[in-house]
Amino acid sequence: QVFDEEGKDVTPHPLFHSDPNTVVPRQGKLLASSAYFGATGSVFLSSFSMHQPSGANASLGSFSRTYGSSSTSISNASTTESILDEIVEPGSRGDTTVSLSDVQVRQEEIKEELTKADLDRRVDLYLTETETVWILDMPSVVVSVESEDAGRVLERNRIYVDICTNRPGNDRFVEKMMQTINGAAKNKEVQCDKIIMEDKGMMVTSWDLYDLFHISEIEPTSKAEGSRTTTGKSSKSHTTKEHDRTMSVSSDRGSPTSSTMILESAVLARIHEEEECHSEAVLTSENFQQDLFFMERILMENIFQPKLAAYRQFPVLTDPDVTSDTSGTVTAMKEAKQEKHDKEKKDKEEQKEAFIDPSILSGLNKTPEEIVPPRLERLWSYVCDLTNGHSVSSMVWSKVNPDLLAVGYGAFDFKEQKKGLACCWSLKNPMWPERIFQCEHGVTALDFSMASPNLLAVGMYNGSVAIYDVRSCNDAALLDSSESSNKHTGPVWQLRWVEQDRGATGDGKKERLICISADGRITEWLIQKRLDCTDLIKIKRTESEKKKLPGEKERKSEALISQQAAGMCFDFHPKDTNFYLAGTEEGHIHQCSCSCNEQFLKTYRGHKGPVYKVAWNPFSTDMFLSCSADWSIILWHQDSQTPILTFSSATAFVHDIMWSPKSAFIFAAANESRVEIWDLSVSTLNPVISLFANPRVKFTSVLFAKNTDCLLVGDSKGEVSVFELQNLAAPNSNK
């Protein structure tokens, strides 16, 4: 404890102020005391200091109130400072006392441990009023006339008014101005590095945003891949390392730079080091192969556009100025071009008109005066280097896609045997086949399956049957009959997938692969793990009905090499697939049934040479047609054993015939040197159209197109030509 000369306690009090709450009332007290400053004098304060109650604050509050009621003399302003000091002191004292009281309070606050018995104990609660806290005290400037201070206040007011009146012109009041000194300014310079500004522009497109969002979605799943790429990048030289790092960082952050930019810079980073491999990769990438494929097709479209349009039977634009010459569209186009220079605009207008009004076209094409003869217009031909030299043996359309054609290449003749080929051609690319299947032996027959349209069955000269899957480019056959013990020993001349109604068993349509071959058997092949077959029927040799000369003894049966006759062709009845016709090498056509495999139902004799093809008429299903090496084509009725009509027009083998899918009267025949179209409603003696082949070429097969008026003709050079049938008479549904 420190005391100054007057004996007052000036002990430096601790800096620690225990509780701000306790500070406030102290200040309040001070304010209260300063409020009464005007009214009360220093006497009050000194007496206040003397009274230092150590206890509750409430007593202090009441203390000040009692002082308010008493009146004491007014102190002057000169004693302000001393009063202020005294204010401080009691404050300090009060502080210590407060702190003391505080400590005392704290000691009292130590909690007792509560026990269960305490729940029943009587607890006394004391409610006390806290002291009044003065927050703001504004003394009033108005005093009542009847108060005790009234006189004093009036007196003071009067003095003030006197001073105010005496003020002007009084020497005691002087106006004076003052100027504050401005502090001296000091300049300070600072230098820093130039802040380099870079302008960057980006165009954000909606697809850019889309890409980014999708990359960020894919990001968590492909994080492993991403980390691998970063490690892959870091394995390169140092120069690119930082670049890569910043790139990977930026990509992680998902910066607004476009993803393509990142990819491009990634590509750039790689390019410098592996340029060769990159171009290799490009050339062998799948996308590139696909693009090449499409490009080729588009080129073809450009080259063959008018022909393909004719195939699809689009109306052909001809210039009406040109005389309507039915010599095809190509010449018309050429003439139009020649006139272009002279009247270009006029041409265009007229072409437009012609396009809008196709009736004019058709009118022009067939002027009523001339009767335009029917003709075959050659559109294009499916040929390529690979197929050159192979003879076309069979052609078949895909069951699902009418633009897809399968062609089998193989020679008929024993001496000309070489490796065969089966190709799938698409309309969209007439210059290169879509699929090429190389076969060991010449291909003699093919067919597409209906139930699974990707399967192509191929029959070969050595009697084996192979099944290819057209979906794959693989050269290997899906299934092969070479392991089968029951396979054919002679060339498979025809094979077909036939839908069989199994109404009895309730199985629904089932498809079977049926083949006929030169070893005299018609077999049904079962597609299991290995290809195996069961016999449907064995074609027995039937003896020719020779009239027994009277008087001759019974002749001994001829010694035959084999009991069986070579089968050349077959055709199932279009309505009832239980019946079928089989043509043999002897020249007989047998009608057989699937349910009876011992005997034929009927035999049709008429041909003198091997029957190359039989075909039921798709419209009037009682008739069928057969062609043979005896230069003739015979039309039969199924009930009559003798031919109805015989067509012979040339001294050449007739290799192939086919009924037109559009008319009951029209059929096509491939003689060796020409293709003939017969229309029975027009003439039964002569073919309606006859097209001659090049001298060294023989026509070997014909095929009608189902969705258009076109005929495909295959020849011995490996060319499949597509002809458009023009101006054939409209099919007559009667008869």
According to the binding rule CB under 8 A, does residue 210 interact with other proteins? yes
Distance of closest approach, residue 354 Cβ to other proteins, in angstroms: 20
Distance of closest approach, residue 292 Cβ to other proteins, in angstroms: 5
Could you write out the DSSP letters of every residue in 716-727? TTS-EEEEEEES
Distance of closest approach, residue 426 Cβ to other proteins, in angstroms: 15
**Nearer to other proteins among residue 24 and residue 267 (C-beta):** 267
Distance of closest approach, residue 697 Cβ to other proteins, in angstroms: 23
According to the binding rule CB under 8 A, does residue 280 interact with other proteins? yes
Stretch that binds other proteins, among 151-159, 199-207, 450-458, 648-656 (CB under 8 A): 199-207
According to the binding rule CB under 8 A, does residue 133 interact with other proteins? no
Stretch that binds other proteins, among 277-285, 540-548, 619-627, 719-727 (CB under 8 A): 277-285
**Nearer to other proteins among residue 285 and residue 707 (C-beta):** 285
According to the binding rule CB under 8 A, does residue 601 interact with other proteins? no
Residues between 221 and 240 that touch other proteins (CB under 8 A): 225, 228-229, 232, 235
According to the binding rule CB under 8 A, does residue 267 interact with other proteins? yes
Alpha helices in 312-384 (DSSP H): 329-338, 344-356, 358-365
> Do 617 and 664 meet the contact criterion of CB atoms below 8 Å apart?
yes
Residues between 429 and 468 that touch other proteins (CB under 8 A): 431-432
Of 485, 471, 477, the residue nearest 435 (C-alpha): 471
- The C-alpha angle 400, 402, 408, rounded to 5 degrees, equals 90
Distance of closest approach, residue 288 Cβ to other proteins, in angstroms: 6
**Nearer to other proteins among residue 263 and residue 644 (C-beta):** 263
**Nearer to other proteins among residue 380 and residue 723 (C-beta):** 380
According to the binding rule CB under 8 A, does residue 303 interact with other proteins? yes
Tell which one of 74, 159, 292, 596 touches other proteins (CB under 8 A). Answer: 292
3-state class of 406 per DSSP? strand
Binding residue count for other proteins, defined by CB under 8 A:
46
According to the binding rule CB under 8 A, does residue 347 interact with other proteins? no
The two structure tokens encoding residue 697: 């070429």
According to the binding rule CB under 8 A, does residue 294 interact with other proteins? yes
Separation of alpha carbons 406 and 497, rounded Å: 14
DSSP state of 258: -
Tell which one of 73, 76, 140, 206 touches other proteins (CB under 8 A). Answer: 206
Of 475, 519, 465, the residue nearest 496 (C-alpha): 465
Residues between 620 and 639 that touch other proteins (CB under 8 A): none
Tell me the residue type at 712: L
**Residue 565 CB neighbours (<10 A):** 23
Separation of alpha carbons 673 and 688, rounded Å: 16
Separation of alpha carbons 402 and 379, rounded Å: 17
Tell which one of 69, 187, 302, 359 touches other proteins (CB under 8 A). Answer: 302
Tell which one of 298, 526, 601, 729 touches other proteins (CB under 8 A). Answer: 298
Q: Where is 482: in which H helix or E strand?
A: none
3-state class of 571 per DSSP? strand
According to the binding rule CB under 8 A, does residue 211 interact with other proteins? yes
Separation of alpha carbons 135 and 126, rounded Å: 27
**Nearer to other proteins among residue 152 and residue 228 (C-beta):** 228
Residues between 403 and 432 that touch other proteins (CB under 8 A): 431-432
Tell which one of 305, 388, 472, 642 touches other proteins (CB under 8 A). Answer: 305
According to the binding rule CB under 8 A, does residue 330 interact with other proteins? no
The two structure tokens encoding residue 290: 């696909």
> Do 249 and 242 meet the contact criterion of CB atoms below 8 Å apart?
no
DSSP state of 18: -
The two structure tokens encoding residue 209: 């945003």
Q: Where is 61: in which H helix or E strand?
A: helix 57-69
Stretch that binds other proteins, among 275-283, 389-397, 404-412, 634-642 (CB under 8 A): 275-283
Stretch that binds other proteins, among 243-251, 288-296, 344-352, 593-601 (CB under 8 A): 288-296
Tell which one of 102, 296, 511, 524 touches other proteins (CB under 8 A). Answer: 296
Tell which one of 155, 162, 291, 543 touches other proteins (CB under 8 A). Answer: 291
Tell which one of 84, 249, 282, 526 touches other proteins (CB under 8 A). Answer: 282
Separation of alpha carbons 463 and 516, rounded Å: 10
Distance of closest approach, residue 703 Cβ to other proteins, in angstroms: 26
According to the binding rule CB under 8 A, does residue 476 interact with other proteins? no
**Nearer to other proteins among residue 89 and residue 211 (C-beta):** 211
According to the binding rule CB under 8 A, does residue 474 interact with other proteins? no
Distance of closest approach, residue 332 Cβ to other proteins, in angstroms: 15
Separation of alpha carbons 510 and 158, rounded Å: 134
**Nearer to other proteins among residue 30 and residue 336 (C-beta):** 336
Of 703, 704, 697, 702, the residue nearest 718 (C-alpha): 697
Tell me the residue type at 440: E
Pairing of strands 588-593, 602-605: antiparallel
What are the backbone angles phi and psi of residue 697, rounded to the nearest 5°? -115, 140
Residues between 684 and 713 that touch other proteins (CB under 8 A): none
According to the binding rule CB under 8 A, does residue 299 interact with other proteins? yes
What are the backbone angles phi and psi of residue 232, rounded to the nearest 5°? -60, -40
Distance of closest approach, residue 715 Cβ to other proteins, in angstroms: 22
Contacts 24+ apart (CB under 8 A), 328-336: 328/377, 330/306, 333/306
Separation in Å, CA 735 to CA 269, 620, 622, 664? 78, 9, 12, 9
> Do 402 and 727 meet the contact criterion of CB atoms below 8 Å apart?
no
The two structure tokens encoding residue 439: 């076969």
CA 273 to chain CA centroid, nearest Å: 33
According to the binding rule CB under 8 A, does residue 274 interact with other proteins? yes
Distance of closest approach, residue 273 Cβ to other proteins, in angstroms: 8
**Nearer to other proteins among residue 317 and residue 569 (C-beta):** 317
According to the binding rule CB under 8 A, does residue 281 interact with other proteins? yes
CA 510 to chain CA centroid, nearest Å: 36
**Nearer to other proteins among residue 173 and residue 288 (C-beta):** 288
Pairing of strands 455-460, 465-469: antiparallel
Tell which one of 160, 173, 207, 355 touches other proteins (CB under 8 A). Answer: 207
Tell which one of 56, 295, 330, 476 touches other proteins (CB under 8 A). Answer: 295
**Residue 380 CB neighbours (<10 A):** 19
Distance of closest approach, residue 207 Cβ to other proteins, in angstroms: 3
Distance of closest approach, residue 635 Cβ to other proteins, in angstroms: 44
What are the backbone angles phi and psi of residue 400, rounded to the nearest 5°? -105, -45
Separation of alpha carbons 586 and 520, rounded Å: 11
According to the binding rule CB under 8 A, does residue 205 interact with other proteins? yes
**Nearer to other proteins among residue 270 and residue 573 (C-beta):** 270
Separation of alpha carbons 49 and 8, rounded Å: 11
According to the binding rule CB under 8 A, does residue 270 interact with other proteins? yes
According to the binding rule CB under 8 A, does residue 288 interact with other proteins? yes
> Do 500 and 550 meet the contact criterion of CB atoms below 8 Å apart?
no
Binding site residues, other proteins, CB under 8 A: 205-207, 209-211, 225, 228-229, 232, 235, 263-264, 267-268, 270-271, 274-275, 277-289, 291-296, 298-300, 302-303, 305, 431-432
